[in-house]
């Protein structure tokens, strides 16, 4: 089992992932050589359920998809939307990065991804501190409502 991860992949996804690791696109290669040695752990072409993620950070439960121009045509936008919805239902956030941005400045993209994945999503509560603002009216420090873990691309 991968750290913090419980969703199994299909046999087809595992086989596809092995093939895709040998056939990385140029933007994926440029990003991988910068991410693979980072203090934050990343996996490339990681199988999840029926899908293969371009990159996955298990510590942040973040899928990183490098989208080329093909993702803008035909039924790809809808297929990407369905895939994103399924991944989110499994507790995995999805960040889509245009391939042209990776080609333009792979160092900056990698730096931002490493910082994003290294930042904790939730800070531990202090024993004597107040509950978060969104929970004050609920009278307790329960788990924050879903939808508060959104990811933002830099800019």
Instruction: Decide the pairing of beta strands 62-67 and 93-98.
Output: parallel
What number is the average pLDDT over the span 1-27?
67
The residue among 61, 62, 28 whose CA lies nearest residue 44 is: 28
DSSP summary character for residue 153: -
What number is the average pLDDT over the span 8-25?
71
Q: Mean pLDDT for the chain?
A: 76
Least confident piece of the model among 12-16, 52-56, 79-83, 116-120: 12-16
Residue 141 has pLDDT above 90, yes or no: no
Q: Which two tokens stand for residue 40?
A: 């934050």
**Can you list the alpha helix ranges (DSSP code H) found in the chain?**
11-22, 26-35, 76-89, 99-104, 106-118, 133-136
What number is the average pLDDT over the span 140-152?
36
pTM of this prediction exceeds 0.85: no
What number is the average pLDDT over the span 62-76?
78
Pick 11-118's CATH classification: 3.40.960.10, 3.30.2020.10, 3.40.190.10, 3.60.40.10: 3.40.960.10
Q: Number of helices (H) and strands (E), helices first, in the chain?
A: 6, 4
Residue 150 has pLDDT above 60, yes or no: no
User: Higher model confidence: residue 45 or residue 104?
Assistant: 104
């Amino acid at each position: 089992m991968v750290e913090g991860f419980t969703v199994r992949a299909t046999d087809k996804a595992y086989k596809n992932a092995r093939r895709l690791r040998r056939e990385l696109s140029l933007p994926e290669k440029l990003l991988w050589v910068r991410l693979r040695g980072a203090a934050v752990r990343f996996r490339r072409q990681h199988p999840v359920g029926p899908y293969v993620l371009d990159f996955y950070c298990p510590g942040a439960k973040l899928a990183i998809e490098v989208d080329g121009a093909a993702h803008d045509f035909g039924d790809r936008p809808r297929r990407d939307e369905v895939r994103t919805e399924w991944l989110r239902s499994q507790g995995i956030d999805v960040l889509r990065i245009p391939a042209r941005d990776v080609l333009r400045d792979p160092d900056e993209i990698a730096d931002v991804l490493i910082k994003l994945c290294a930042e904790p999503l939730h800070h531990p509560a202090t024993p004597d501190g107040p509950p978060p603002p969104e929970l004050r009216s609920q009278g307790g420090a329960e788990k924050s409502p879903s939808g508060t873990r959104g990811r933002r691309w830099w800019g």
